[in-house]
Amino acid sequence: MSVLNKSYLFRYGIFLLSLFFYLALPIHSYGQEMREVENTAFSPGEKLVFRAYYSSALTGNVTAGEASLEVLQNTEVIGGRSTMPVIGLMRTRGLFNLFFRVNNRFESYIDRSAIAPLLFIRRVEEGKYRKSQDVMFNHFDKVAVSNSGTVPIPAYVQDIISAFFFARTYAFENPKVGDEFNVDFFLDDSVYVTRIVFDGYERINTRLGTFNTLRFKPMVLKGKVFSQPYPMTLWISDDKNRVPLLVESGLVVGSVKLELSEYQGLRNPLTSKIR
């Protein structure tokens, strides 16, 4: 066995041992209490399913796949804290698999009171790219421990799934165009900050009906995928659920759209739907 493989197995073994103690033992706060975030937007049992479309000069407008987010009914206790497990799935379908196959699974165990992740599990298959990572978040000591290292983090940093749910808890009281808020999130052993800007009110038509919505522009990282910092527009229901109804984004090549196609277990009536 090579020295590199021995090193990896040693680090992974230490991670598994740390994970066992983290899951089994209470989290010590050393006099500090976890925050409490008021959440009236979602609850266990919610499931959202989205249809994904891709458009380009070469492909035209095609159905690319499906994505879903489900807040499980069962409660998982991690480090003495009660969590809501959330499962996120993304899969391409049909002929689009010949173009670029995606089969991703994410699990985020979100602290019920703090609305912050305690454990994040990521399994990614995108074309030839593969990524498998488990991350434990210690918000008291402000560190994230994964099977590839330990990284300092801001308190209550989010993962890419929990960030979506945390953003839904924001109290939008008569927002004005240009109002913005920031969300810290952790990805690939690095901490990023995304800025989300309120872009106005809009009534939109979708496959599920006509809705009154709040329109936002989330900032993303420019690079191989996105060609500008604000290529994405997000429409969420203008009601207590704050459900994403439609997402559109320009890419370096073409554009992608996610549209809500099914929902169940919403916490509140979907009063934003007018017909």
**pLDDT tens string 128-180:** 999 999 999 999 899 999 988 899 999 899 999 999 999 999 987 788 999 98
Q: How far is CA 159 from the centre of its chain?
A: 6
Q: Where are the alpha helices (H) located in the chain, listed in sequence order?
A: 3-24, 96-99, 162-168
How does residue 6 score in pLDDT terms, banded at 50, 70 and 90?
Answer: very low
Extents of the domains making up the chain: 3-264
- The model carries a pTM of 0.84
Q: What confidence score (pLDDT) does residue 82 get?
A: 94
For 24-72, write each residue's pLDDT tens digit. Answer: 445 544 435 789 999 999 999 999 999 999 877 666 678 889 999 999 9
Cα–Cα distance measured from residue 216 to residue 145, given in angstroms and rounded to the nearest whole number: 32
pLDDT in tens, 84-120: 999 999 999 887 888 789 999 999 999 999 999 999 9
**CB-based contacts of 14: which residues, under 8 Å, 6+ apart?**
none
* Residue 20 pLDDT grade (very low, low, confident, very high; cuts 50, 70, 90): very low
What tens digit of pLDDT does each residue of 183-237 get? 899 988 999 888 889 999 999 999 999 999 999 998 765 433 333 455 789 999 9
Is the CB of residue 236 less than 8 Å from the CB of residue 203? no
User: For residue 202, what pLDDT is reported?
Assistant: 97
Question: Which residue in 119, 112, 140, 126 sits closest to 36, CA to CA?
Answer: 112
pLDDT of residue 109: 97
